[in-house]
Amino acid sequence: MDLRTLAAGAIVQSIRLPEIERCGIEWCMLRLDSIDTTAAGNKLFKLAENFRFARAAGHRRLLSFGGAFSNHLHALALLGAAEGFATIGVVRGEAVAAHNPTLRDAQQAGMTLHFVDRETYRRKHEVELMADLQRRFGPCYIIPEGGANTAGVAGCRILGQVIREQVAAVDTVVLPCATGSTLAGVVAGIADHCATLGVAVLKGGGFLPAVVQDHLQAADAAHNVRWRIVIDEHCGGYARTTPALMAFIEDFQRRSGIPLEPVYTGKMMYALYRRILASEFATGTRVLALHTGGLQGARGFVEWS
């Protein structure tokens, strides 16, 4: 899986909205959702290096964690199957969720689902739980929730390098942020070529800057300092929405032709749109928004509406 080629093949689309142009801002989007592969988006970059590490260690079985509409588990199931891996998804919630579209896709791709309660799920980093899972399912390469590990950051670093080398000059790259690993990889790859802004999509994101800094330290990129995270644009919390957010997404999709989902990219674009209109970016700033894919997750809002 050649990540550089895949990243370079993503569409870069100009966003032409009159109110944004009146602010003197050049706005475009790098659409990872447009990559022609089994599961497009940032998860592709996080998982590719994990697959390489797993294969080098002799593993043919992968295990990871996520919620009932997890983009990560969905991508792991589809991409893992394409790469010849058996996959196991440890799912937070009840087994009835197995009938939702995300987990149906995962099962059809061959993923084994293991449902746990919230208390057990909170122990997902504990050695004892890891050992229990290995006893239940056999030896496997364990990927943390969201692919948030050194390998995941390394894959996203390639994405940052492609942005730096092949995308037309920009002043600021903006992307949604949940675990901080995509942001860390992009910052490491872009270096100090331009600024990077993460938009936290979960409530209580004050821990994220330290997490990103730790990732950058491990990647020998702690000297890259032109980044920050805004933590007050979560619209109530992870996977929470507001009428204003949903109205923005509907209007933006109609006017731009770019599909959004409300968990990650939609929330980031809503925050960016309002901040541009509030003159938080200087006239003449060239902004590149990163569409991280995950459009399958939008089906959850239809499923439970």
**Mean pLDDT over the full length of the chain:** 94
Identify the CA nearest to 30 among candidates 45, 9, 47, 46: 9
Strand 86-92 and strand 61-66: the pairing is parallel
Q: How confident is the model at residue 302 (pLDDT cuts 50, 70, 90)?
A: low
Identify the CA nearest to 150 among candidates 67, 211, 62, 82: 211
**pLDDT tens track for 65-97:** 999 999 999 999 999 999 999 999 999 999 988
**pLDDT tens track for 30-56:** 999 999 888 889 999 999 999 999 999
Alpha helix ranges (H) inside 30-180: 42-56, 71-82, 101-108, 118-121, 127-137, 150-166
Q: pTM of the full predicted structure?
A: 0.95
Ramachandran angles phi, psi of 243, nearest 5°:
-55, -35
Check residue 103 and report its DSSP letter. Answer: H
Tell me the C-alpha distance between 49 and 147, whole Å: 10
Q: How confident is the model at residue 304 (pLDDT cuts 50, 70, 90)?
A: very low
Q: CB within 8 A of 203, min separation 6: which ones? A: 234, 236, 237, 238, 240
Ramachandran angles phi, psi of 100, nearest 5°:
-75, 160
Identify the CA nearest to 42 among candidates 181, 170, 145, 161: 181
Check pLDDT > 70 for residue 130: yes
Return the percentage of the chain with pLDDT > 70, whole number. 98
Q: What is the pLDDT of residue 262?
A: 96
